[in-house]
Structure 1
Amino acid sequence: MTRPDLSHDLRGAVAGGLPVVQLHGLSSSRRRAESTGSDLTAGQDGLCVLRYDARGHGESPGSPDPAAYTWPRLADDLFALLDATFPGRPVHGVGASMGAATLLTAAVREPARFASLTLAIPPTVWEWRHGQARTYELGARQVERWGVARWAERTWRPPTSPAIDPDLPATAPDVADAWLPAAFRGAAATDLPPREEVARIAVPVQLLAWPDDASHPLEVAEHLAELLPDARLGVARSPADVAAWPQTVGAFVRGRADRAGRPGA
């Protein structure tokens, strides 16, 4: 099997652990997730977690082509990594923002590849996505003009959601100047498959969300919770609630595996 040239690692109980794949959000990486407290499987026992930097993010090579960063293309990368790391085994998918959208896109295509899905702060989709797409195009032009570091400094705003720790350090995107405009434009051009296709995803789904974040509207998470046939939603109202998300994820994954007779264990 050919493994894509994406930077990745395996963490946890490699022998005998429940197979999990963890995906980060747009402009983030494994490194940035750790520094911002958004590593959703941190400290969880009994899991074998495949973590990787998405195309053009962190330590993974990028492309100047926006099409490389659309959710279907990111799903292609995900499947190639799963084929090489967990061949023939259903995995528990855990993703935040862009990572959540990538998992949904992949699960529409091949639902049997997943034992469960945890979708944290799902991004704008469908009718919610149009305004966000314009924001991404503006960001692409600004990064081309200023570079990533200056763009991050000039556009930083304090968090609006009470669930986001205001004391977290501001961090620049973990994407090179050469790749971030294309990543933004790829995000602007992409969306989930139609609702009726998403509604056929029958695997157990856990949604994690917070309020008052225009890039990750709570309304999207609530809508997905109603649309998906086996979904539950947890809403964080404070930084302490978000800090508990890794424990919530670990309990969900282990609980689904025990209920199903630990498939893939």
Structure 2
Amino acid sequence: MTDLTLHRPGAILSYDVTGPGVLRPILVAAHGLTSSRANEDASGIFDWSPVIASGRTVARFDARGHGASTGRAQPEDWHWPELAADLLAVVDAVSPDQPVDGLGVSMGAGTLLWAAVLHPERFRRLVLVIPPTAWGTRAAQAALYEQSAAFIEERGMEAWIRAMVALPQHPILEAGGWPRGPDADAAEDLLPTVFRGAAGTDVPGEDEVAALKHEVLLLPWAEDPGHPVSTAERLAELLPNARLEVATTPDDIRRWGARIAAFLEH
């Protein structure tokens, strides 16, 4: 598998395309804040290999400033509508003539919602994994991002990682034996800017979300204030063709790849 590159305003995105391509459309996947393709693979929490095994091609990319992608120190570059423009550019690169299926984790879910609102015709089905804080719950999370940005500027990225690792682990992840994190895969000089960008953004408005006609699979997990089930529940209320399935055990999470493959096939 060879990385491909895509030039964008203020960034060069790194992406890859994997799979036999027997089934269409392609699935384009977007990761979460401070993560990357490599981080997802190393953690093992988000395993999309069953989707590839089902015969579908999967395109994955590192968001600007994450992993192998570059970025610049402008917080607005990490507002989700801007990241959605990057996602849509990847969609155009890998599937210029046909709609794709979209998958987003956390920040990637917010990005995907914006991309679908901006260009609904470019997507067939959507998978939103651990949707992040939104609307009324966003302000408290934004304050935490601002604190993280200031902490990194004052004490450095390694000190921030140590502080994060010292916090209690998510109960489901601890029970599942997944490794501790975060092992942030973002450039230290950009990470405060990334956090400030995240603090200044939100999902689309409720009316815009309610106008989406796509079939949507919502996969939150329980007991995570940074990814509250309330977001997924509200999205399920707004989206006219949504299915909500809350993970409460590690085995629920381990079944996500197969569940997504089945959702995209049928």
2:81 matched to which residue of 1?
72
Task: State which drifts further: 11-20 or 167-176.
Answer: 11-20
Question: In the alignment, is residue 31 of structure 1 matched against residue 71 of structure 2?
Answer: no
Aligned partner letter, 2:31: H
Query: Judging changes above 3 Å, is the alpha-carbon distance between structure 1 residues 155 and 39 closer, same or farther for their aligned structure 2 residues?
Result: closer
SS at match of 1:235: coil
The residue number in structure 2 matching 1:240 is: 251
| Cα deviation, residue 134, structure 1 | 0.3
Contact 2:20 2:55 in 1 (8 A): yes
Post-superposition Cα deviations, 1:108-158, rounded to whole Å, max 9, x if no partner, equal 111111110000000001111010000000000111122222211122222
* 1:119 equivalent in structure 2: 128
Q: What's the secondary structure of 1:50's corresponding residue?
A: strand
**1:229 matched to 2:240:** yes
Pairing 1:48–2:57 present: yes
Is the Cα contact below 8 Å between 1:164 and 1:238 reproduced in 2? no
1:181 aligns with 2:184: no
Change (3 A) 1:126 1:164: farther
Mapped partners of 2:172, 2:259: distance in 1: 19
After TM superposition, the structure 1 stretch with the greater mean CA deviation from structure 2, 53-62 or 35-44, is 35-44
| Comparing 201-210 and 11-20, the one that deviates more | 11-20
Give the whole-Å Cα distance in 1 for the aligned partners of 2:242 and 2:129.
13
Contact 1:56 1:176 in 2 (8 A): yes
Deviation at 1:23, TM superposition (A): 0.5
Equivalent pairs counted in the alignment come to 254
Match of 1:129 in 2: 138
* TM-score, scaled relative to structure 2: 0.91
Q: Does 1:3 align with 2:16?
A: no
- Cα pair 2:45 2:178 within 8 Å, conserved: no
Partner-residue secondary structure (3-state), 1:19: strand
Q: Kindly provide the amino acid, as one letter, of the partner of residue 222 in structure 2.
A: P
Unaligned regions of 5+ residues in structure 1, if any? Answer: 256-265
Residue 103 to residue 68, structure 1, CA distance change in 2 (3 Å): same
Between the aligned partners of 1:147 and 1:170, the Cα distance in structure 2 is 19
- Deviation track 1:5-35 (CA, whole Å, cap 9, x = no partner) reads 2111001114655311011000000011111
SS in 1 for 2:48: coil
Q: CA deviation at 1:164?
A: 5.3
Residue in structure 2 matched with residue 259 of structure 1 by the alignment = none
1:200 to 2:207 alignment: no
1:170 is matched with which residue? 180
Question: What is residue 96 of structure 1 aligned with on the other side?
Answer: 105
Instruction: Give the Cα separation in 1 of the matches to 2:131 and 2:175.
Output: 19
Alpha-carbon distance in 1 for matches of 2:64, 2:228: 25
Rounded Cα–Cα distance in structure 2 between residues aligned with 1:252 and 1:16 = 13
Over the matched positions of the two proteins, sequence identity in percent amounts to 43
